[in-house]
Chains A and B, each alone.
Chain A
């Protein structure tokens, strides 16, 4: 008889199979997320090819120092998330909790910096709409770039907020001792999601902030 485990759902042979099914399911979900963001990236590519000068001008409105700091914050949070998963793999409960906590702190810091950037955009009247304050050449096309800026970073921030919720649940479950080196699939799956959101930002940073700095 195979060993039975409280976390083993009845449709699975053993925890290994259950773990594989969970990670495969998460990867399939992430592929749908790739297509979701992919459509927006394709739209961005189209309009950047159409209005290269306006996209360059729009990109210069972004705050590179804040964007670069946020990139570093996010890849650091990916490291702490990877170490949290690694801790869970080895059944190190306290270590997992510390790294999950660090991941949440860095995620919240990212959102704080993002809020600061949005606040500056509000102050400078760089919000798409009737009171859009940009007065340079091809203002309508610059406004389009800013629409992409808010659309892409806003959806990314929404994913970050969901990620923070997921990590909070993982902290509670780890705290209650639900995981072990034999059963840690939820943390692994939460990690996959967190790293995916990091990858989206890895592409957003050069495409929004670094279009045209050399002029």
Chain B
């Protein structure tokens, strides 16, 4: 149980990084990067989520089966979003024949 005791320095370091990334994502939003605004915003959000999951939630040092469960959650989320988006974004690529 004591396997995942992290030091105070680790917690404070993670918190400082999270605060810096929050400032970064807010400031970058004011710069016009076109499509890459959303890419940067999501990359920063995923990085912040990973920091919280790995250190605050101790997943980095958790048992392998716990890591597999957490990974499965992300996998199913990706399946959900990928398949929904691939359907919606590819509609009407081929003109529909009259009468449909």
Q: A residues within 8 Å of B by Cβ?
A: 15-16, 19-20, 23-24, 27-28, 30-31, 34-35, 38-39, 41-42, 45-46, 49-50, 64, 68, 71-72, 75-76, 78-79, 81-83, 86, 89-90, 181-182, 188, 191-192, 195-196, 198-199, 202-203, 205-207, 210-211, 213-215
Per-position 1/0 for B31-69, Cβ under 8 A of A = 111000110011011001100110111100011011001
With A199-B53, A202-B52 as given contacts, are A34 and B73 in contact (CB-CB < 8 Å)? yes
| Secondary structure call for the A interface | helix
Interface residue from B14, B26, B69, B81 paired with A210 (Cβ < 8 Å): B26
Pairwise interchain contact A15-B57, C-beta atoms closer than 8 A? no
Q: Are B57 and A49 in contact (CB under 8 A)?
A: no
| Minimum-distance CB pairs A-B, first 5 | A31-B73, A210-B29, A206-B41, A214-B32, A79-B15
Closest A residue, CB atoms, query B89: A49
Decide if A182 touches B42 in the complex (CB within 8 Å).
Answer: no
Which residues of B sit under 8 angstroms from A79, Cβ to Cβ?
11-12, 14-15, 56
B5 contact set on A, CB distance < 8 A: 86, 89-90
Interface centre among B1, B2, B42, B74 (most CB of A within 10 A): B1
A214 / chain B contacts, CB cutoff of 8 Å: 29-33, 37
CB–CB A78/B70 < 8 A:
no
User: Is A215's CB under 8 angstroms from B32's CB?
Assistant: yes
CA distance A45 to B9 in the complex (A): 38
